[in-house]
Structure 1
Amino acid sequence: MKIRLGSHPSNLSLFILRHRGVIEPAARDRGWQLEWFDYTQGARSGEWLADEQVDVVGTGSTPPISAQATGLDVAYLASSPPRNNNCALLTLQSNAISSLRAKRLTGMPGSFTDHFLARLLQKQNLRRTDVTLLDLQGQDAMTALLNGDIDGWLAIDPWLTRALQIKDVVARSAVGDEIINRSLFWTRAAWQQRYPEVAAWIVKQLRVNDAWIEQHPVGAAQILADKLNPAILPDEWLKTIRGRPWGLTPASDALLAEQQQQADDLFAVDWVYDVLQQENHWAKAHPLEAGKIWASQMGQQGSTLAALLGRVNTVPITPVDDAAITHIGHIANWYQQQGLIASHPDIRQHVVTLTP
C-alpha cells in the first residue's frame, strides 16, 4: 500500500517529520510505501486532497472548512492543543485602528488568520468586504507595516516575535483572545473509512514526532533553519518551538463543534462567498485541473470527461437572484415531470444570502 503525506512550511509537525527520515522505515516494516508530497501553500491542501495527490494533510483550522465549502467530504483525524500566542494583530504605535473599516491588512489568506480576522470584524459589525486583505508574508509584511503601506499585520511566529522587538510595533489583539487556534490533521472521508488502521497509525506517528520535537527543540529548530527561510535564525525557531504546546489528541465532537463555530463566524462576515469566489477564479484559470477534481469526485477517470466538466462548470459565481430562482424552478418542474422528484420544492425558501 502507498501512503502519501503532505508537507508544507506552515505545519511544523509534518515538515519536521518529513525531514527527520524516521517514518519511512517504520512504514516499510509494515509493508507500506510512504511518500511525501511537498507544497508551499497550506491553504491549497484541500485541492491536493480532492485531486488525490495526497492522503493526509496538516493545516490550521480554516483550510478544511474551505474544502468542505467547495464540496470535499472531509474527515478529521487529530488536532494539536490550542496555540494562543503564536499570532497577533500588529500595528504601529501611532496607528490605534479603533475601527477596521476601510483598513489595509495582511495575513495568510486561507489559513487560521481568516478566522481570527472574521472574529475581529464581527465584534465591529463589519463584513469581509469592509477591509482590504493582502497576501504579504515575512519581511515583505514587516516592511509594508513599517512604511505605513498597510494598517495592520496578522503576524505569525517566528515573524511575530521578531516584529515585537521593534519599538514602534505593538500587538492590538492576540489570536487566543478571539479564537481557538489549533493545527488539524485531516483527510478525505472515503480514504479514512477505507484505511482506518493506516489513519490511526499516522496519528500515532505524528504524536511520537511531536514528543520528539518537545524533547529535542534544538534539533527541531536546526531542521527548520536548514530547510526554510534563511532570514529566520535557529534561535528564533527555537523560541517558536518552545513557545507552543506540542502533542496530539484524536478528533472529537468538541473539535467538530469548534469547526462549526468557525464556519458560522466566517459565514457571518460573508467569508464563505469570498472562498467560493477564490476557488472559482482558480477553476476558471485551470479548467482541466478543476475538471479532473470533479471527475474524481464522481468516481470517473480520464481526461475527456475532465475536460468537458472543466469547460461547462467554470462559470462566474453570482448571488442567487429572482431570475435564478425562476430558472431553478423550471428545472425542478422538469425533474417532477420525469418522476425524478415527488413534489416541487420551495426554491426561494432554501436561498441563503452570502453577500450584503
Structure 2
Amino acid sequence: MFSVRFSLQPLALLLVLGVSISGLSACSSDSSSNATNTSTLSAAPTGTANTSNRSTSNQAESNVVRIGYQKYGTLFLLKARGDLDQRLKEQGISVQWVQFPAGPPLLEALNAGSIDYGSTGETPPIFAQAAGTPLVYVAHEPPDPKGEAILVAKDSPLQKVADLKGKKVAFNKGSNVHYLLIRALAEAGLKYSDIQPVYLAPADARAAFEQGNVDAWVIWEPYLTVAKKALDARVLQDGSDLVANRQFYLASQQFTEQHPDRLQAIIEETQKVNEWTQSNFTQAAALLSPQIGIDPPTLTEILKERPYGVQQPLKPDVVNYQQQVADAFVELKLLPKPIKVQEVAQSQP
C-alpha cells in the first residue's frame, strides 16, 4: 500500500503541472464559476474542506455533488450541456465540476474526499484500488480500442511494435495507454523491460515527441487525432484486438451508499447526453470547441468515431477483463499485491 501511494503521487503531481499543450487547451483553467483545477494531488476543490477527514454526517447532509471530469468525453459534454445541473437544482442540490488532466490525479482526489464521482479509463482504477482508494465501479461505456494508439513520427524507421526494442516510449503511467503498451509489447514478443519507458503527462509527452526526444508516444483521444493532424504522426499500433479501452464511471463508496438517488440521476443524464451527441455531432463539436481548443471539424470527426452508451451494472465479462488488467500489472511488479476487482464493482451475477 505504502509503495503504491508514493509511486503514484509524483506522477499525479506531474500530470497536474503539465496541463498545457500546443494546439490543444484541453487542460486549461475552467471558466465555470463552480469548477476549478486541482493544484495538488489531494487538494480539495474551491468551496470544500481542505481535508479528507470530513465527518460522515456533514457529507450526508451536503447539498453539493462534486464531479471530477477531464477536458474531453461524456462528462465534459454533460457539464457543457447543463442538464444535470438543472435537474439537481430543482432538488436543491448544486453540482461542482472539478477539472483534471488525467485519470490518476482524479482518483487521488476521490481518495482524498475532494470529489464524489468521476470517469477514467480502465487502468487508473486498478492503481487506485491497490492504493486503498474507497472507490466503486458504477457503470461503463462500450469498448473503444481505436481510441488509443502508439504513435511514431511520419519518417520514423519504426514499422512495427517489435521495432520498439531498446527505444524510448512516452506515456502516462497508470493510465489506459499503459495497459495498451503492455499488451502490444507482449503480442510482439517483447518484454516490458525491453523498452525504455518515459513517464510523461500528455502535454510533456507531446513536446518530447515533437522534439524527437522519444521514439514513440502512447496516447488517447482527443490528443491522438490532434497529433496525427498537427504533427503528421503515424499510428504504429492502436488498441484493436489488444485492449477494450472502456471508460468507467466511478464513485466513492460513501457516495454510493448515502446518495443512490443522486448517483442514478448522474447516470441517467449521462445516458441522455450520449443519445443527444449521437444525433448532433456538429452541435456537440461546436459546443466543445471553444472550451477544448480543437477546431469543430476535427472534434466532429473524433465524436463520430467514439462509442456511445452507458452500461450498468457491470457484467461478469467486464469485471473479468478488469481483473486481467490488474493481474498483468501485478505480474510486472507494478502493483505490490494482487487485488480483486469484484470487491469494488457494482455488478450483476
TM-score by length of 1: 0.69
Q: Structure 2 counterpart of 1:196, which letter?
A: P
Q: Equivalent residue for 1:150?
A: 214
* Shift of residue 74, structure 1, vs aligned partner: 2.0
Query: Is 2:121–2:247's contact at 8 Å kept on the other side of the alignment?
Result: yes
User: Which of 109, 126, 131 is the aligned partner of 1:70?
Assistant: 131
Is 1:133 equivalent to 2:201 in the alignment? no
Q: Distance in 2 between matches of 1:75 and 1:165?
A: 37
SS of residue paired to 2:164: coil
Query: Is 2:67–2:98's contact at 8 Å kept on the other side of the alignment?
Result: yes
Cα distance change of structure 1 residues 204 and 80 upon mapping to structure 2, 3 Å threshold: same
CA shift digits 1:238-282 (9 cap, x unpaired): 1100111111101323222121111012222232259xxxxxxxx
Q: Equivalent residue for 1:102?
A: 166
Q: Structure 1 counterpart of 2:324, which letter?
A: Q
Q: Equivalent residue for 1:203?
A: 267
Cα distance change of structure 1 residues 146 and 29 upon mapping to structure 2, 3 Å threshold: closer
Q: Distance in 2 between matches of 1:262 and 1:193?
A: 27
Q: Distance in 2 between matches of 1:137 and 1:32?
A: 34
Aligned residue runs from structure 1 range 254-273, under 5 A? 254-272=317-335
RCO higher in structure (CA 8 A, sep ≥6): 2
Q: Distance in 1 between matches of 2:233 and 2:101?
A: 28
Q: Structure 1 counterpart of 2:99, which letter?
A: D
Query: Is 1:145–1:151's contact at 8 Å kept on the other side of the alignment?
Result: yes
Cα distance change of structure 1 residues 211 and 163 upon mapping to structure 2, 3 Å threshold: same
Higher helix share: 1
Q: Distance in 2 between matches of 1:220 and 1:227?
A: 12
Query: Is 1:75–1:186's contact at 8 Å kept on the other side of the alignment?
Result: yes
Q: Structure 1 counterpart of 2:317, which letter?
A: A
Q: Distance in 1 between matches of 2:202 and 2:254?
A: 35
Is 1:186 equivalent to 2:253 in the alignment? no
Q: Bigger CA drift: 87-96 or 154-163?
A: 154-163
Query: Is 1:89–1:152's contact at 8 Å kept on the other side of the alignment?
Result: yes
CA shift digits 1:297-333 (9 cap, x unpaired): xxxxxxxxxxxxxxxxxxxxxxxxxxxxxxxxxxxxx
Q: Distance in 2 between matches of 1:239 and 1:159?
A: 13
CA shift digits 1:80-127 (9 cap, x unpaired): 111121221122442235243332111233320011112123333513
* Shift of residue 205, structure 1, vs aligned partner: 1.1
Cα distance change of structure 1 residues 257 and 52 upon mapping to structure 2, 3 Å threshold: same
Count of aligned residue pairs for this structure pair: 270
TM-score by length of 2: 0.70
Cα distance change of structure 1 residues 197 and 142 upon mapping to structure 2, 3 Å threshold: closer
Is 1:21 equivalent to 2:86 in the alignment? no
Which of these two proteins has the greater Rg computed from alpha carbons?
1
* Shift of residue 210, structure 1, vs aligned partner: 1.1
Quote the RMSD (CA, aligned, Å): 2.5
Q: Bigger CA drift: 62-71 or 83-92?
A: 83-92
Query: Is 2:145–2:242's contact at 8 Å kept on the other side of the alignment?
Result: no
SS of residue paired to 1:176: coil
Q: Equivalent residue for 2:103?
A: 42
Aligned residue runs from structure 1 range 1-356, under 5 A? 1-9=63-71, 11-92=72-153, 93-96=156-159, 98-123=162-187, 124-127=189-192, 130-135=195-200, 137=202, 141=205, 144-145=208-209, 147-164=211-228, 169-228=233-292, 230=293, 232-252=294-314, 253-272=316-335
Cα distance change of structure 1 residues 164 and 51 upon mapping to structure 2, 3 Å threshold: closer
Cα distance change of structure 1 residues 37 and 101 upon mapping to structure 2, 3 Å threshold: same
